[in-house]
Amino acid sequence: MAVRIAAAKYLKQSLGPEDRAAIYTSSGQVTLDFTSDLDALQSTLQRLLPRPIMGQTPGACPDINDFQAYLIVEQHDQISLDIATEEGFACNCENFPPQAQAQCRADQQRAAFSLSFSVLNQAEDSSEYSLRGVEQIVRRMGVLPGQRSLVLISPGFMTATQHQRVSGLVDHALRSNVVVSALDARGLWTDPTLSDPNGKSLILRADLVNQKSLELIQRDIWTQEVMSTLSRDTGGVFFHNNNDLVAGFRETSSLPEVSYVLGFSPSNLKRDGRFHNVTVKLARGGGWTIQARRGYFAPSKTEDVAAERKEELREVLFSQEEVNELPSDLRTQYFRLSQSQARLSVFTHVDVGSIHFEKQNGLNLDDLTILLAIFDQDGNVVVVKQKTVIFHMRDSTLELLRKSGLTARTTFDVKPGSYLVRQVVRDGTSSGMSGISRSVQVAF
């Protein structure tokens, strides 16, 4: 409720005539695409309700949260397992006769370990659902004009086993020029169970009671990590420990006046899937501070190369950046089919003279992948088409093609309106790519 009221105030005060805002939710049940209609935005805000992806079991015993499950399953933390075991013993074994309690305790330990797997799997599924939702929004924003700011509003969620997934999401945001900020929906918050005077622990061992409290504090830090990482690594702001949520929306929605994108290609990159630290420093400090990524995850040996290339193509397609590794161009023309339909032809021209062909049995071998997408004036994808040109040419044919270049025609049936044509071409031998965009107005 507090976040909803703050968001409504912020939009009313800050949404300008040239601004567009959208509302998305991880459940996908309440959404509003980019619009300047303030009434529609306010109406959508009023429909927002908590909709947990995974069901919760109140009063469960033992009470194993996602962080404790992570410690038990991934870190093999015996103390965390002992806490769950003691809670299970208190709920299920205290009324057993003394001679049966030892066996019951052993049973509770096995049950706690099994329950931890289930809790962790549910937490990972829920987090993946949220991360996938953010990724889809980043892709959606990547084709939109202007500056792009995404504000993730959440109490946080566990991503302790999904660091590579979060790092990949940062990569997508940086390549799409989307600044991700985060706002802790709880405001100034502490776990109420830590200060509940009426709360009664089921655990009799004092050391485990204290450890349980410590784990609750640690959980809060771990569930906030994804929000701090996304905001820090993309140039955004993480607003937390503050109840002035209207100010939080102002801070997280503002964009930096000046920012830099630095990139490098590591030499002798090892496909070990490990995290590698990166340090960015100023040659002369001068009292300035730097907000930058802490490092990157190297790709894993087990990653599918074909899937990587497909994903790379998709990234360039949904980006507005010009890519000029491979000389290419495009032109368009259209003609009227009916009162409400037109045929748009896109001609892709590639300078074959810059392509290196493989030689095999006297033939020149290569392939070109051409990916074309049509976006409407609101940035929505109308249609995507892909074609592959395979070359098996003699030298004489290659010489002629080097002089003329390759021209491929792709047709789309569209309605009258304003469109953006995005073209991506990749050379199969060198993996060189080009990415260009052109605006086209289809009018009768």
Is the predicted pLDDT of residue 322 greater than 60, yes or no?
yes
The CA distance from 31 to 27, in Å, is: 9
230: Cα within 13 Å, side-chain hemisphere? 33
Average pLDDT, whole number, for the chain?
Answer: 88
The CA distance from 440 to 422, in Å, is: 11
The lowest-confidence range among 281-290, 332-341, 389-398, 418-427 is: 281-290
Region 9-13 average pLDDT: 94
Reading the block at residue 397, the tokens are 């044919």
The confidence band for 325, taking pLDDT boundaries of 50, 70 and 90, is confident
Whether pTM exceeds 0.75: no
Helix and strand element counts for the chain (H, E) = 10, 16
Reading the block at residue 345, the tokens are 């032809």
The confidence band for 144, taking pLDDT boundaries of 50, 70 and 90, is confident
- Phi, psi dihedrals of residue 337, rounded to the nearest 5°: -100, -35
DSSP-derived secondary structure for 144-206: SSS-EEEEEEES----TT-HHHHHHHHHHHHHTTEEEEEEETT-S---GGGS-TT---S---H
The confidence band for 56, taking pLDDT boundaries of 50, 70 and 90, is low
The winner for highest mean pLDDT among 153-162, 250-259, 320-329, 350-359 is 153-162
Give me the amino acid identity at 104: C
Q: Does an H or E element contain 53, and which?
A: none
Reading the block at residue 227, the tokens are 């929000």
pLDDT of 193 = 66
DSSP E strands, 240-380: 275-277, 295-297, 323-324, 328-336, 342-350, 358-360, 363-376
The lowest-confidence range among 22-36, 106-120, 219-233, 249-263 is: 249-263
The lowest-confidence range among 23-37, 40-54, 141-155, 312-326 is: 312-326
Higher-pLDDT residue of 120, 51: 120
The CA distance from 337 to 343, in Å, is: 7
Reading the block at residue 363, the tokens are 């033939």
**pLDDT tens digits, residue range 404-442?**
999 999 999 999 999 999 999 999 887 788 999 999 999
Between the two ends of the chain, the Cα-to-Cα distance in Å is 49
Higher-pLDDT residue of 261, 187: 187
Residue with tokens 């931890």: 116
- Nearest partner of 435 among 443, 421, 444, 424, judged by Cα: 424
The CA distance from 112 to 88, in Å, is: 8
Is the predicted pLDDT of residue 250 greater than 50, yes or no?
yes
As beta bridge partners, residue 23 has: 32
As beta bridge partners, residue 369 has: 388, 426
Mind listing the domains of the chain with CATH numbers? Answer: 117-253 (no CATH), 321-442 (2.60.40.150)
**pLDDT tens digits, residue range 391-400?**
999 999 999 9
Beta strands 178-184; 148-154: pairing state:
parallel
Q: Where are the alpha helices (DSSP H) in 205-360?
A: 206-234, 245-253, 305-317
Beta strands 358-360; 363-376: pairing state:
antiparallel
pLDDT of 266 = 78
**pLDDT tens digits, residue range 111-124?**
999 999 999 999 99
